[in-house]
Amino acid sequence: MHLTGIEGSSGTNKSVPVYKYKDKCLREELYDQCWDGKPVPNIVHYIFFGIYKLSFVQFLSIWSIHTIQKPCVILIHGDTQLSGPYWTYLVRTIPNIIRVRKTPPKEIFKNPIKVIQHKSDVVRLEAVRDFGGIYMDNDQIILRSLDPLRNYNFTLSHEFDDNLSNALIMSCRNAPFVNLWYKEYASFNTSLWSHHSCILPYKLLQRYPHLIHVENKTFVNPDFRHRSIIFDGNFNWSYNYAVHLYIRFYNLKHFNFIDIRHLNTTIGSVARYVLYGHRELCSD
């Protein structure tokens, strides 16, 4: 893999197919082409609302899913055309990226949705419900194949003992659990930050445990309360399927391929593993 010079490259989006979200032919074609006998198809979903230039961490997320999960297709749902050297490198290197036009919803069940994070919470459920597959936050990094978990109809992971994270969602198409979760948005209240996204699925787990497989913090560890160890310490992520980086709390403008070669931190070892196949500090 030749990563040198990515920051200075340029290009266009002309090679990336673009479809409308409601294109039924796209859904059926992908479902047929990506069907391999497992309940959850190997289709990956990202949501980019209001983002124009791909960051290094977002590149790292997509690169991790491409190299480790090897999905049938990567769907980029959003309302903007992504650009920048990292995006250019991805579309030149990964042949199975598809852009899906999706406008951020203004309401759900007549309840207003005011912040972009809540809009994304709704659309990620719609995406895995309508297409099936694996939803990824754009600062979620895959560390090993999710294929063993694709045998379950629906999978989430604890972040804390009393919640379930929605940063990584695995679902068959029209999974009963995701349909129940979506219907609960009839009571959505924009002033409750994480209730419908993390607390509500945990409550549904108590009522419908047979509809969901739950991982014990293998998608999100370190958790939100211990997120500083990602950038300031070293965490043993050997047992993780993925790690969530919580990038909105950090200034990562100067975070790039050169930095991660010598960072003796969790993010350094994770980035080196994804990009170079090893965790060790680089010698030069």
Q: What would the DSSP string read from start to end of 153-197?
A: SEEEE-SSTT--EEEEEEE-TT-HHHHHHHHGGGG--TTSSSIII
pLDDT at residue 255, rounded to an integer: 79
Residues 135 and 234 in one domain: no
Residues 45 and 67 in one domain: yes
Q: How many residues does the chain have?
A: 284
190: region left, alpha or beta (phi > 0 left; psi from -120 to 50 alpha): alpha
Structure confidence by residue, pLDDT tens digits, 166-217 = 999 999 999 999 999 999 999 999 888 899 999 999 999 999 999 999 999 9
Residues 11 and 85 in one domain: yes
Short-list 279, 281, 243, 238, CA closest to 259: 281
Residues 179 and 271 in one domain: no
pLDDT at residue 15, rounded to an integer: 82
Residues 232 and 197 in one domain: no
pLDDT at residue 164, rounded to an integer: 98
Residues 125 and 63 in one domain: yes
Average the pLDDT over 120-124 and give the result. 98
Structure confidence by residue, pLDDT tens digits, 41-93 = 999 999 999 999 999 999 999 999 999 999 999 999 999 999 999 999 999 99
Residues 105 and 163 in one domain: yes
Average the pLDDT over 154-170 and give the result. 97
**Number of other residues whose CB lies within 10 A of the CB of residue 180:** 17
The SS3 of residue 243 is: strand
The answer to whether residue 1 is domain-embedded is no
CATH classification of the domain holding 172: 3.90.550.20
* Cis geometry, peptide bond prior to residue 222 (ω within 30 degrees of 0): yes
Q: C-alpha angle with apex 173: 104 to 165, nearest 5 degrees?
A: 60
Structural domains in the chain (count) = 2
pLDDT exceeds 60 at position 10: no
Residues 184 and 272 in one domain: no
pTM of the predicted model as reported, rounded to 2 decimal places: 0.94
The answer to whether residue 220 is domain-embedded is no
The answer to whether residue 80 is domain-embedded is yes
Average pLDDT, the chain: 93
Parent domain of 122: 6-215
Residues 185 and 65 in one domain: yes
Residues 271 and 204 in one domain: no
Q: What share of the chain is helix, strand, coil (3-state, %, to 5)?
A: 40, 20, 45
Q: Give residue 258's pLDDT band: very low, low, confident or very high (50, 70, 90).
A: confident
**Number of other residues whose CB lies within 10 A of the CB of residue 22:** 11
pLDDT exceeds 70 at position 254: no
